[in-house]
Amino acid sequence: MKDQILEILSRSNVFLTGGGGVGKSYLTASIIRHYKENFKNVVILGSTGISAVSLGGVSLHSFFKFGYCKDYEELRRLDYRQKDKLSKLRNMLDACDLLVIDEISMVSSNVMEMIRYRLLTSKFKGRVLIVGDFYQLPPVQKEQNESKLFNFLYAFNSSAWEDMKFTNVELLLSKRTNDLKFYEILSRLRVGELDDEMMAYIESLRVGAIEPDSETSVLFGRNAEAEMLNQKRLFALNTPLEISNSDVLVMNENLDKKEFEKWANTLNISRNLEMKIGAKIIFTSNKWGEYYNGEQGKIMQILKENGAIS
């Protein structure tokens, strides 16, 4: 599939979509890696800071210097006050071979128009790869008006979407489960389907409340709740606590330090990593070759070299 998308990108922009767990992020990372290995310039953006970090990028608002602008007219007024920043931005876009935008469902039609404006006011000649699933989180809006949401809010409602002439590529095969019945029901729920047979199947999966043991994975609605259980289980392990302090490596010399700190604080990532032998871990991105987002493991050994954990 990677080779097919690379071939399409040689002649067209691409919209890569599909339900959860079909490999969108993994495939996107593979395409980015191919471009970089061939000495091409790639700009990686996410609709939010959290979505951007999973691919090693930055938020599109930060990169495009959108500030707090809600539409094209506000952006034009802001640009009169940030000409120096725009000069650097245009230089990066001029040299860009591939522009990647992840979690496109959270990009509004207004923001899509602002993106096109940035590309048109530069000498951008590369391709655009946008990734996401419009059945997932929508753009944030102040007015909860469903008709407005459907008719105007999404990125595909913008004239910019039509002008960019995306070739649609939809991934259909689940990479997270081999249970075809379960995946079929999830796929039907994704598009709003529900019948008695599906309800009966879902009810059959119901279990009573249990006290999870140390091997049980537990889902929470809030990060703070998950952190409390993680700390409780870590404390219960009768092995030495090791703490690894993070090093921040800034690859872009033009990156404003205050903007970086503001972005980093949105990621909900601790600057220090606490670990013990026996602690369970989970991978949260596709960055380590054969290991994938969501795969779990257990710390069996902690190696130190010159006082640093490796």
| Predicted pLDDT of residue 282 | 87
| Predicted pLDDT of residue 143 | 57
pLDDT, one tens digit per residue, over 69-86 is: 888 889 988 998 888 889
Say how far apart CA 41 and CA 92 lie, in whole Å: 9
pLDDT at 152 exceeding the cut of 70: no
In the block, residue with structure tokens 């990009």: 107
How is residue 294 annotated by DSSP? T
pLDDT, one tens digit per residue, over 97-140 is: 999 999 999 999 999 999 999 999 999 999 999 999 999 988 87
In the block, residue with structure tokens 């102040």: 142
Tell me the whole-structure pTM to 2 decimals: 0.69
pLDDT at 270 exceeding the cut of 90: no
| Domain at 2-171, CATH from 3.40.640.10, 1.20.1070.10, 3.40.50.300, 3.30.565.10 | 3.40.50.300
Over residues 171-179, the mean pLDDT reads 87
Q: β-strand 42-46 against 58-59: which pairing, if any?
A: parallel
Give the residue, 84 or 229, on which the prediction is more confident: 229
Q: Which amino acid is at 201?
A: Y
At 58 the three-state DSSP class reads strand
- At residue 146 the predicted structure's pLDDT band, cuts being 50, 70 and 90, is low
Those residues with Cβ within 8 angstroms of residue 154's Cβ, 6 or more apart along the chain or in another chain: 105, 108, 109, 134, 138, 139
pLDDT, one tens digit per residue, over 3-62 is: 999 999 999 999 999 998 899 999 999 999 999 999 999 999 999 877 777 788 888 998
User: Do residues 160 and 71 touch, judged by C-beta distance below 8 A?
Assistant: no
H or E, element range at 162 = helix 159-164
Domain ranges within the chain, ordered by starting residue:
2-171, 177-206, 223-256+271-309
| Predicted pLDDT of residue 154 | 93
User: Do residues 48 and 103 touch, judged by C-beta distance below 8 A?
Assistant: yes
Question: Among the listed ranges 35-39, 160-164, 258-262, 305-309, which one has the minimum average pLDDT value?
Answer: 305-309
Over residues 274-303, the mean pLDDT reads 83
Those residues with Cβ within 8 angstroms of residue 285's Cβ, 6 or more apart along the chain or in another chain: 25, 53, 54, 55, 293
Spell out the alpha helix ranges (H) of 54-108. Answer: 60-63, 72-79, 83-94
| Predicted pLDDT of residue 36 | 96
Where are any strands of DSSP class E within 19-171?
A: 42-46, 58-59, 98-102, 127-131, 166-171
- At residue 199 the predicted structure's pLDDT band, cuts being 50, 70 and 90, is very high
Provide the 10 A C-beta neighbour count for residue 117.
16
Average per-residue pLDDT for the chain = 87
Reading the block at residue 197, the tokens are: 């047979």
